[in-house]
Amino acid sequence: MKTLKTVVWQVKSRYALVTCINNGRGVVVEKEICPESVNSRNAHWVNQTSIYFREKLRALGVLLAEPYTFVEREGKAIQCSPYVGLDLDEVFHEGGATPAVLRELLSTISGVLTQKEREVGIDARLSNFCLGPDGSVYYVDTFPPLVKYEGRFLVHFPNPEDPEIVEQELKRKFDPLGILRRLRFSVLAQDTGIREANILAAIGNVMGEAFSGEVRNFFQALPDNKELSVALAELTLDDPDAIRELALRFMPLRGEARTKFFHQVFDLSSNFCPLKITAEERMSRIHDLFAGR
């Protein structure tokens, strides 16, 4: 008897068409990687670099959805894993933002934060993690791979050629303070009651007070902790995270307006902005958003 597959949900993310499927034996998540960019010429490379990235993450103790399968189907790179639970964006939105969840998240990325050399990165946005039924936090969005592969750093897909952009992405996604900076913004952007002090407490609990003290000093120098006029004067597209952090001061309260504001700021500030506009137009729109126009 043939097992019927039921689609539970389907979303188009920045890098994949993601489909949650009940296949009669369990619930799995299937990702068709970048359907507009992946074809028979590069599907094998996409899967091979993803396999390598996951091996490196696993060696550093990062919890991943397992087993994870890779196939090439009609020129497409298809990656599949078990469904492990709600992503942390949803968990936090539904009132599940607790110190325990923060500690579990930091525990799963602690090996990346303490690696001796730049080799493995992680994109520490809440939506890239899921809360498992055992209370553990799993890193589930492992494409694009953030890893040094065959002597070359992979920081995005398609990977940038400009060495300055590559260095910016390394600081943001491979260096421990950059990783925690992205996590801090992702948490504070939710406005669920978790504050910077809670994040620092969780860091201290998992990583130790000396490490937490270094992070505290770093956080204090971020734009949303500066005098507003100074932060605005220093605003530049060379620092996407600074723009997003300063946006915390201007975001509407929770709800659709806040979500829309967040997505606009994210796209306009990205090194890989999807909008076909000039840098001057991007900065103008950012200032208009901050001014409520």
Query: Quick one: pLDDT band at residue 89, thresholds 50, 70, 90?
Result: very high
pLDDT at 110: 98
Does any domain span residue 13?
A: yes
Among 61, 82, 103, the domain-final residue is 82
Query: For helices 240-247 and 163-173, what crossing angle results, to 10°?
Result: 50
The mean per-residue pLDDT over the stretch 213-225 comes to: 95
Does any domain span residue 217?
A: no
Burial class (CB in 10 A: 0-12, 13-18, 19+), 253: exposed
Cβ contact 123:59 at 8 Å: no
Per-residue pLDDT tens digits for 30-70: 999 998 888 888 999 999 999 999 999 999 999 999 999 99
Does any domain span residue 207?
A: no
pLDDT surpasses 60 at 212: yes
Percentage of residues in the chain having pLDDT higher than 70:
99
Domain CATH for 68 = 3.30.200
pLDDT surpasses 90 at 80: yes
pLDDT at 1: 52
Query: Quick one: pLDDT band at residue 170, thresholds 50, 70, 90?
Result: very high
The mean per-residue pLDDT over the stretch 158-174 comes to: 95
Does any domain span residue 292?
A: yes
Does any domain span residue 245?
A: yes
How many other β-carbons are positioned within 10 Å of the β-carbon of residue 288?
Answer: 12
Does any domain span residue 185?
A: no
The mean per-residue pLDDT over the stretch 10-37 comes to: 91
Residue 92 to residue 98: CA distance in whole angstroms: 8
pLDDT surpasses 90 at 256: no
pTM, rounded to two decimals: 0.91
Residue 129 to residue 139: CA distance in whole angstroms: 5
pLDDT surpasses 80 at 138: yes
Does any domain span residue 10?
A: yes
Per-residue pLDDT tens digits for 173-193: 999 999 999 999 999 988 888
Does any domain span residue 279?
A: yes
Instruction: Name the residue range of residue 46's domain.
Output: 6-82
Residues with Cβ within 8 Å of 49's Cβ and at least 6 positions away in sequence, in order, are 145, 147, 149, 154
- 155 vs 3, residue with greater confidence: 155
pLDDT at 2: 58
CA atoms within 13 A on the CB side of 37: 13
> Number of structural domains, the chain?
2
Cβ contact 145:169 at 8 Å: no
The mean per-residue pLDDT over the stretch 200-216 comes to: 97
Query: Quick one: pLDDT band at residue 215, thresholds 50, 70, 90?
Result: very high
pLDDT at 192: 85
pLDDT surpasses 60 at 168: yes
